[in-house]
Chains A and B, each alone.
Chain A
Amino acid sequence: MAYVATRGGEKAIEQAERLFRQDLGTIDPDRVETIRRTMPYLIDRVMGEASLYSEELAALALAQTGGELSEAVLVLRAWRTTQPRIAIARPVQQSELLTQRRISAAFKDIPGGQILGPTLDYAHRVLATDVLEGRPYTPPMVDMADRPAPQRQPVLADWQRQQGLVKPAVPSEIAPEDIPDLTREPLLLPASRAHRLQSLARAETGGVLALGYSAMRGYGNAHPTVNELRLAEAEVVVRHPRGAQFSAGRVRVSQAEVTSKEKGGYLELGYAATFGWNEVKVIAAATLDLNSAEAPVGSAVHEEFYLYHTESVEASGFCIHFKLPHYVTFQSVLDAMRGAKARQASARAAEENQEESVP
């Protein structure tokens, strides 16, 4: 087997993986629980991109990949896809959401009020270096409001529909099991509304931000106004085989509705929602949705462009695959290049010969 002796082969790949895992050390339930408890927004981001709502599994994925986000999302997706789809939850209505934060930039005040909820929006982003000098940071407690905000909030778009500002909503009549499911079928274009929103919901946060930002900055046709932004918890209501509907638990969700200008006598709305609390992602995604209708083919705000290029697992996988050997294709290119050069050289030589022979 002298032929293969110079190659690294199976032993090398095994040792390379060991080296990665050895650097991370032992992964135990404590480490997973610490990640889950202390990094809720990171967990949310990973759950959204994996389209798998499990804080525990997301924390485990982060632990075993050392926080390499695209790897963490990949292991979760690869696990998720092997699981059976056992039920289809009742669609979540906005007005039923247990809302913790809900703001609108379109009006100074809105029915139900502006509920700031948890946010760093108005904080001064100062690094708490004191912590490193042995002075732990303990946040001051929140003062209880005199009157707690209601758990559920009305929908601003409903008020706008009453006023004739937004087109009446026409819910599509579709059996739950017929709702297109992007995780079980390919994305075909033009995408169904379901596929577009599902694809954005599981899109890579940074990718959505980059393309959404390009639309906001001037490469799109619509500058977004945040009509309504919500961070909430949604009940996952499923039907028991015996018929009763019950909540199987709650999931954290974010959703954004952005608007821009009038079209056909109504305000256009762009929409996005995702698992977990991830405001940047839903605002950027809703902006892409808003820009889609009039997007030139091939532009960054055209759905084929942004849906394909914000797919976390596909984009990261393809990017790192360029590390794989490509010497066969390269050899093929070299051959064509050398062939063309030889042809040019012989053509030049023939020309010179001809010139020399001219008296």
Chain B
Amino acid sequence: MSLATLTKPWAATSYGFLDASAKRELRRKMLKAVAVPGCQMPYASREVPMARGWGTGGLQVTLTLANPGSVIKVIDQGADDGVNAASIRRFVSSVSGAAQTWDTLDASIIQSRHRIPEEILRENQVLVLQVPDPEPLRDVESNISIARQMHADADYGKLWLTLYEQIVRKGRIMQGASYPALVNGRHVITPSPIPRWDVPKLHMSKHLTILSAGREKRIFAVPPFTRVEPLVFSDRPYLVEDHAGLTCQRSGLSGFFMNELPMDGGGSRFEVSDSNLGIKAIRRTEGEPDGIGDTWYRNGEYSA
């Protein structure tokens, strides 16, 4: 045996960009996060060649999970061709050799900002959500040391109070995206700024969801078949966005989360937010096989 047989040729960067020590730490923290669902695990969160706040947390997870057999889908606001999504997908593919896809059903790893795809994810898929602020208590407690203690004590009273106050003042809960949810009956998480429409998709799902905040250096997870319950009062049902009756002007799809586009002279038109679902529907109208998988919502009702 010689030294040469034990070494690899020099390369400017490691496989998958992150070096082995960074990946090892991430693997360990992901396992911890899976072991304690919803509990925020601090991690070093190395710098990556992308600005903080642009998906660096999700990127580190994806780079750690990716291998040459992976198929990567990256979406921003539901769209595969969003400029930042395209940039991340190209980077992951170029440093890991993973294949790229727009099709939710073909992907082994889906990295997303602000959306969960409309097609049901399977056991062998991992959803990586980019998280700007991992702390659901931030609005009621900006000091993270105190917030950490509150999580340890499962002291979520201030959060409940905020929701209650909204009902008193406005007649309904005003929380938009990032709706707080109780995971496995123990830890409250922010599901990242996904719309309320998407939160039920995390509940008892077949797939693993890893949520990673690069700037804030926290990682947490919703393992498969884990309860995820939005914080609601028993006499006030959870309200998803009122999109069930909207129709996509391009694809004709209805009953899914939509983007609203203001029109000249007033009024709005709508486009389905899950852009690849829209593409599949357009193909269907052109007579091609559509390949649309089962969806979490049917006829605008959550039914998975």
State how many angstroms separate the Cβ of A189 from the closest Cβ of chain B. Answer: 5
Most buried by A among B171, B174, B250: B171
State how many angstroms separate the Cβ of A349 from the closest Cβ of chain B. Answer: 14
Partner of A329, one of B114, B217, B275: B114
Interface of chain A residues 32 through 57 with chain B (CB within 8 A) = none
Interface of chain B residues 41 through 91 with chain A (CB within 8 A) = 42-54, 56, 76-79, 81-84, 86-87, 90
A327 CB–B CB distance under 8 Å: yes
Chain A residues within 8 Å of B, Cβ to Cβ: 1-4, 7-10, 12-13, 74-75, 77-78, 80-82, 84, 183-190, 297-298, 304, 313-314, 316-321, 324-340, 343-344, 347
Query: Nearest CB to that of B240 among chain A residues?
Result: A335
Most buried by A among B14, B176, B250: B176
Q: Which residues of B contact A2 (CB under 8 A)?
A: 250, 282
* Known A325-B76, A329-B177: A335·B171 in contact at CB below 8 Å: no
Contact indicator A324/B242 (Cβ below 8 Å) = no
B103-111, B120-128, B138-146, B291-299: which lies at the A interface?
B138-146
* Additional 15 contacts, C-beta under 8 A, given A188-B42, A317-B54, A332-B176: A2-B282, A3-B282, A9-B81, A13-B83, A186-B42, A186-B43, A186-B217, A321-B53, A326-B114, A328-B257, A328-B273, A329-B177, A329-B195, A332-B177, A334-B260
**Distance, CA A188 to CA B41, complexed state (A):** 11
B7 CB–A CB distance under 8 Å: no
B15-23, B150-158, B202-210: which lies at the A interface?
B15-23
Contact indicator B54/A82 (Cβ below 8 Å) = no
Q: Which residues of A contact B17 (CB under 8 A)?
A: 82
State how many angstroms separate the Cβ of A203 from the closest Cβ of chain B. Answer: 15
**Distance, CA A190 to CA B239, complexed state (A):** 39
Contact indicator A327/B77 (Cβ below 8 Å) = yes
State how many angstroms separate the Cβ of B110 from the closest Cβ of chain A. Answer: 16
Contact indicator B195/A331 (Cβ below 8 Å) = yes
Interface of B is mostly: loop
B36 CB–A CB distance under 8 Å: no
State how many angstroms separate the Cβ of A80 from the closest Cβ of chain B. Answer: 7
The contact sample of 7 A-B pairs, CB cut-off 8 A, is A81-B46, A82-B18, A304-B143, A328-B177, A328-B273, A329-B114, A340-B172
**Distance, CA A185 to CA B26, complexed state (A):** 11
Interface 1/0s, chain B 225-264, versus A by CB < 8 A? Answer: 0000000000000010111000000110000011110000
Q: Which residues of B contact A332 (CB under 8 A)?
A: 176-177, 195-197, 241
A-B contact count (CB 8 A): 166
State how many angstroms separate the Cβ of A322 from the closest Cβ of chain B. Answer: 8
**Distance, CA A313 to CA B217, complexed state (A):** 13
**Distance, CA A320 to CA B87, complexed state (A):** 16
Contact indicator B171/A347 (Cβ below 8 Å) = yes
Chain B residues within 8 Å of A, Cβ to Cβ: 13-14, 17-19, 21-22, 25, 42-54, 56, 76-79, 81-84, 86-87, 90, 113-115, 132, 142-146, 170-178, 193-197, 215, 217, 239, 241-243, 250-251, 257-260, 273, 275, 278-279, 282
Partner of A321, one of B52, B114, B176: B52
Contact indicator B77/A328 (Cβ below 8 Å) = yes
**Distance, CA A298 to CA B142, complexed state (A):** 8
Contact indicator A318/B52 (Cβ below 8 Å) = yes
Query: Nearest CB to that of B52 among chain A residues?
Result: A317
Query: Which 6 residue pairs of A and B lie closest in terms of their CB atoms, listed nearest first?
Result: A317-B52, A321-B53, A317-B51, A332-B176, A333-B176, A77-B47
* Known A186-B42, A340-B170: A316·B144 in contact at CB below 8 Å: no
Q: Which residues of A contact B194 (CB under 8 A)?
A: 328
Contact indicator A333/B177 (Cβ below 8 Å) = yes
Contact indicator B282/A317 (Cβ below 8 Å) = no
**Distance, CA A187 to CA B143, complexed state (A):** 14
Q: Which residues of B contact A325 (CB under 8 A)?
A: 76-77, 82
Q: Which residues of A contact B44 (CB under 8 A)?
A: 183-186
Q: Which residues of A contact B19 (CB under 8 A)?
A: 81-82, 84
State how many angstroms separate the Cβ of A312 from the closest Cβ of chain B. Answer: 10
Contact indicator B145/A336 (Cβ below 8 Å) = no
State how many angstroms separate the Cβ of B228 from the closest Cβ of chain A. Answer: 17
Partner of B52, one of A185, A314, A333: A314
Q: Which residues of A contact B42 (CB under 8 A)?
A: 186, 188
Contact indicator A324/B76 (Cβ below 8 Å) = yes
Partner of B53, one of A3, A189, A317, A333: A317
Contact indicator B144/A189 (Cβ below 8 Å) = yes
**Distance, CA A314 to CA B197, complexed state (A):** 30
Q: Which residues of A contact B115 (CB under 8 A)?
A: 328
Q: Which residues of B contact A74 (CB under 8 A)?
A: 47, 51
Most buried by A among B132, B257, B275: B132
* Known A325-B77, A327-B259, A332-B176: A81·B275 in contact at CB below 8 Å: no
Q: Which residues of A contact B13 (CB under 8 A)?
A: 82
Q: Which residues of B contact A187 (CB under 8 A)?
A: 217
State how many angstroms separate the Cβ of A6 from the closest Cβ of chain B. Answer: 10
Query: Nearest CB to that of A335 among chain B residues?
Result: B241
Query: Nearest CB to that of A81 among chain B residues?
Result: B46
**Distance, CA A329 to CA B176, complexed state (A):** 7
Most buried by B among A10, A185, A324: A324
State how many angstroms separate the Cβ of B159 from the closest Cβ of chain A. Answer: 17
**Distance, CA A119 to CA B146, complexed state (A):** 44
State how many angstroms separate the Cβ of A192 from the closest Cβ of chain B. Answer: 14
State how many angstroms separate the Cβ of A179 from the closest Cβ of chain B. Answer: 15
Contact indicator A10/B81 (Cβ below 8 Å) = yes
Q: Which residues of A contact B282 (CB under 8 A)?
A: 2-3
Partner of A81, one of B22, B51, B86, B171: B22
Q: Which residues of A contact B84 (CB under 8 A)?
A: 324
Contact indicator B145/A4 (Cβ below 8 Å) = no
Q: Which residues of B contact A320 (CB under 8 A)?
A: 51, 53
